[in-house]
Amino acid sequence: MTDVVPVHQTELEHERGYVAGLYERLDELRAEKEHQLARVRKEGPQGSVQNVSERDAFATLYEDRLAQLYAVDDRLVFGRLDLDGGDERYIGRIGLTDEDQVRLMVDWRAPEAGAFYQATAHQRLGVRRRRHLMLRGRTVVDLEDDVLDATLLDDSSVHHGAGALLAAVTARRTGQMGDIVATIQAEQDAIIRSPLKGVLVVQGGPGTGKTAVALHRAAYLLYTHRDRLKTAGVLLVGPSQSFMRYIDRVLPSLGETGVVMSSLGRLMPGIKAVPETDRRIAKIKGRLFMADVVANAVANRQRLPAGPRKVDVAGTVLTIRPKQVRRARDRARATGKPHNEARATFVKIMVRELADQLKDKLEKSSGAGNNIDRSYLTEDVRTSRDVRIALNLCWMPLTPEKLLTDLFSKPEHLEMAAPFLKAKQRRRLLRAAEDPWTEADVPLLDEAAELLGEWDASAGRAQADQKAARKRDLANAEATLTNVHSMLEDFGVDGVVSAEDLVDANQAGDQYVSAAERAATDRTWTYGHVVVDESQELSPMQWRLLMRRCPLKSFTIVGDIAQASSAADVTSWAEALEPFVQDRWRLEELTVNYRTPARITRMAATVAQAAGLPVSTPQAVREGDWEPTVTRVGTAEREAALLAGVAEDLERIDGGLLAVIAPVSLEREVAEMLRATYADRVGSGGGGLGQDIVATTPGEAKGLEFDAVVLLEPEQIVREAGGVVGDLYVAMTRSTQTLRVLTTGELPAGLR
Ligand SMILES: Nc1ncnc2c1ncn2[C@@H]1O[C@H](COP(=O)(O)OP(=O)(O)OP(=O)(O)O)[C@@H](O)[C@H]1O
């Protein structure tokens, strides 16, 4: 009898040998870069300015490359293609060549790697066999072959494993999202590699890999369109800080660090907004008419005095008349500049007119002729405290924060700016001046910043100077690049470095900041591409802000319209996008659920459909081991039932991650209950180090996943969402293994 193990073993040994070679090369490259970096650093700050800045530019390049080489260590290689011509092609996180430029491994994003994800038995794309390599540490521990060429089926080297995809989707969750680079499915790959231009909407039910696809697409676009995107950058927007923490390791593991990641609450540099807990407020602040409210609020800060106003200029009393202010105001507004910048025009006109008035008065009182120096008079007017106060009352320089604080804390300001809102709606918007900014305020602050412009006109000039200097530097850098071309080639980075890289590196020496870092701190930065996750949640005002961040309108928008909470207030992508791009967007759909077992998706879909949500019948990759349960208990028994359920589920998931998802009003109580038994094991969001139990809410759990979910009081969750079932649907679809529903009251339709 022939034993199958030796054949498998032979193949395994073969792959181990090859993979060891790849790691050897990786180590070599690291050592090389370390050495080059040390050498450059050792040179110290000598030589001409140009030498010093060239040295800094190289140091930064080596540091970036080193960071990338270190980030890709885990599962460096994951696939092999056997091609018709007899060639073998290894697919991994980055491309590797040996000293003679012979290719050892292809970057998964390169066109030559596409077949790894796209080839099927029907459309082989020249592939005879696709092999998945499963690694632990640096060792290949298993193989899995997809045979696409039927003549290979009897080949003894073919190995059918347990299924790379199944192994990936059943792996225990850690509270941190991992990449899916080894098992991207064909429908996902087509989206990841879709062209850069235009607006791409990716619609998919829960767990279909929308977040994973969004992240891999960001990495793919940066790789494929490096020239265009390296300097402008890519912005990735997610719903909350806990979500951003959940996904923040994925891009580095794909060797990419150039993406600016931001939650909706952090899109305005310098503002750390908290979630808006009152959905009614979020809804009002999210509507597009708020742009008019903000514009009105700005216009209302360009005021006419009620009557003539006397001002003292160096002992002479002058009069500021409403008519005069109106004229100056109209001319300043006609410049089309933002408030703070147009103010300079307003002040200039007023000062000139007052100086004329002063001149007349002085001449009249002294009887002197036309011989008073105008510049002295202008200076007198300008430095008069009375004049300064009077002009400020007419046209005060403002920050976005000050404008909105006044707007929402002074009822008369709000009434003037939003006369078309009902009194009840305006009352709802009022807040104390010291209240923290919420996510719903961020687009309004951004709108205000846009209309107010730079605080100080000289800051605008400084920016223009900076731009001119940058242009000069770019020209110099182009010249430098030509000189160092051959040097770069030696280091294997030619083409990776651009003139912009050199300028950036030159600008600040050790305080070098990448395009991504600069973009993250500059509100007016415009990106080359924007990826938006959980985008069904965005309000029209949030869309408006994001559209401003990418005038080229190059977007990847992923989400599930059925998961929308009530605050988002949209029922279709067409409705959400129409105001900004009309019908110029394309739709792709993801149809397979990789997260949630079929038993759970069926129950969640029933609940969604009972509420009239347009949820299609889910297709899940596995059935799951445990039937979801729904239990009704008396209020007095709720705690005991919860703790018993948690204990049982923890045992089932054996070291995995468990979440109790509760209505917002119960979250704190639930966290305390859990802490009384599990102490430090209890965390929030996606959990933390050593925390395998999480107390959370449907809003916070959006986009995250857990091995077990215990869901408390579903009817109350629906009530808190203003009767919309989206949040409950989100909560029910977070689990990778078990779902347990506990209620003391009614149950929503579909769960009864
Ligand atoms: N091709 C794949 N191979 C392995 N795992 C995958 C694949 N696609 C998705 N997954 C896994 O399925 C889970 C769900 O993916 P993801 O969070 O991206 O879904 P989603 O569509 O954004 O979900 P939701 O809208 O419910 O938040 C993740 O654990 C992800 O790693």
Least confident of 34-38, 112-116, 463-467, 620-624: 463-467
Ligand 1 centre to CA of 507 (Å) is 41
- Residue 569: is its pLDDT beyond 60? yes
Ligand 1 pocket mutation, candidates 118, 134, 208, criterion most atoms within 8 A of CB: 208
432: left (phi over 0), alpha (psi -120 to 50) or beta: beta
Backbone torsions φ then ψ of 136, nearest 5 degrees: -125, 125
198: left (phi over 0), alpha (psi -120 to 50) or beta: left
Ligand 1 centre to CA of 18 (Å) is 31
Query: Which of ligand 1's atoms lies nearest the C-alpha of 563?
Result: 25
Ligand 1 pocket mutation, candidates 166, 185, 211, criterion most atoms within 8 A of CB: 211
- Residue 369: is its pLDDT beyond 70? no
Which pLDDT tens digit goes with each residue over 211-246? 999 999 999 999 999 888 878 889 999 998 888 888
Instruction: Give the position of tokens 């979500």.
Output: 243
Helix axes 442-452, 400-409, angle to 10 degrees: 120
* Distance, CA of 568 to CA of 572 (rounded, Å): 11
* Distance, CA of 378 to CA of 384 (rounded, Å): 10
Nearest CA to ligand 1 atom 27: 703
Ligand 1 pocket mutation, candidates 237, 705, 727, 728, criterion most atoms within 8 A of CB: 705
Residue 378 annotated in ligand binding: no
Residue 208 annotated in ligand binding: yes
Residue 206 annotated in ligand binding: yes
Q: Are 661 and 709 in contact (CB under 8 A)?
A: yes
Q: Find, among 89, 77, 438, the residue nearest to 275 by Cα.
A: 438
Which pLDDT tens digit goes with each residue over 48-87? 666 667 777 788 888 888 888 998 998 999 999 999 999 9
* Distance, CA of 492 to CA of 486 (rounded, Å): 10
Ligand 1 centre to CA of 212 (Å) is 6
Nearest CA to ligand 1 atom 26: 206
Residue 496 burial (CB < 10 Å; 0-12/13-18/19+)?
middle
Residues whose CB is less than 8 angstroms from the CB of residue 304 and which lie 6 or more positions away in sequence, other chains included = 322, 325, 326, 329, 394
Determine the pLDDT at residue 62.
Answer: 85
- Residue 629: is its pLDDT beyond 70? yes
**Helix ranges (DSSP H) in 556-623:** 573-581, 598-610
Residues whose CB is less than 8 angstroms from the CB of residue 617 and which lie 6 or more positions away in sequence, other chains included = 605
Pocket, ligand 1, Cβ cutoff 6 A: 165, 168-169, 180, 183-185, 188, 204, 206-212, 560, 594-595, 703, 705, 733
Residue 204 annotated in ligand binding: yes
Average pLDDT over residues 118-141: 91
Determine the pLDDT at residue 256.
Answer: 85
* Distance, CA of 253 to CA of 6 (rounded, Å): 34
Strand pairing report for 103-107 and 127-136? unpaired
The helix/strand/coil state of 198 is coil
Please report, rounded to a whole number, the percentage of residues in the chain having pLDDT higher than 90: 63
Determine the pLDDT at residue 470.
Answer: 57
Ligand 1 centre to CA of 179 (Å) is 9
* Distance, CA of 508 to CA of 500 (rounded, Å): 13
Ligand 1 centre to CA of 697 (Å) is 20
Backbone torsions φ then ψ of 749, nearest 5 degrees: -55, 145
Q: Which residue has the higher pLDDT, 161 or 622?
A: 622
- Residue 483: is its pLDDT beyond 60? no
Ligand 1 centre to CA of 384 (Å) is 65
Ligand 1 centre to CA of 204 (Å) is 10
pLDDT level of residue 46 (50, 70, 90 thresholds): low
Average pLDDT over residues 26-42: 91
Beta bridge partners of 318: 311
Return the DSSP state at 535.
Answer: G
- Residue 459: is its pLDDT beyond 60? no
Residue 644 burial (CB < 10 Å; 0-12/13-18/19+)?
exposed
Average pLDDT over residues 602-620: 86
Ligand 1 pocket mutation, candidates 134, 144, 169, criterion most atoms within 8 A of CB: 169
* Distance, CA of 51 to CA of 283 (rounded, Å): 56
Ligand 1 centre to CA of 510 (Å) is 39
Query: Which of ligand 1's atoms lies nearest the C-alpha of 734?
Result: 26
pLDDT level of residue 508 (50, 70, 90 thresholds): very low
Residue 186 burial (CB < 10 Å; 0-12/13-18/19+)?
exposed
Which pLDDT tens digit goes with each residue over 161-211? 557 787 788 777 777 888 898 889 999 999 999 999 999 999 999 999 999
* Distance, CA of 470 to CA of 464 (rounded, Å): 10
pLDDT level of residue 127 (50, 70, 90 thresholds): very high
Return the DSSP state at 113.
Answer: G
* Distance, CA of 470 to CA of 614 (rounded, Å): 52
- Residue 501: is its pLDDT beyond 60? no
Residue 21 annotated in ligand binding: no
Which pLDDT tens digit goes with each residue over 679-691? 999 987 666 667 8
CA distances from 688 to 682, 684, 685, 709, 715 (A): 9, 8, 8, 17, 29
Ligand 1 centre to CA of 383 (Å) is 64
Residue 565 burial (CB < 10 Å; 0-12/13-18/19+)?
buried
Ligand 1 centre to CA of 525 (Å) is 31
Determine the pLDDT at residue 7.
Answer: 57
Q: Find, among 178, 219, 236, 185, the residue nearest to 533 by Cα.
A: 236
Beta bridge partners of 739: 709
Determine the pLDDT at residue 160.
Answer: 66
The pLDDT mean for the chain works out to 86
The helix/strand/coil state of 202 is strand
Please report, rounded to a whole number, the percentage of residues in the chain having pLDDT higher than 70: 86
Residues whose CB is less than 8 angstroms from the CB of residue 542 and which lie 6 or more positions away in sequence, other chains included = 264, 286, 442, 443
pLDDT level of residue 151 (50, 70, 90 thresholds): confident
Query: Which of ligand 1's atoms lies nearest the C-alpha of 182?
Result: 3
Instruction: Give the position of tokens 């998964």.
Output: 108
- Residue 604: is its pLDDT beyond 60? yes
Residue 260 CB neighbours (<10 A): 21
Which pLDDT tens digit goes with each residue over 132-148? 999 998 999 988 888 88
Residue 210 annotated in ligand binding: yes
Q: Which residue has the higher pLDDT, 64 or 604?
A: 604
Least confident of 455-464, 690-699, 712-721: 455-464
Ligand 1 pocket mutation, candidates 179, 180, 185, 558, criterion most atoms within 8 A of CB: 180
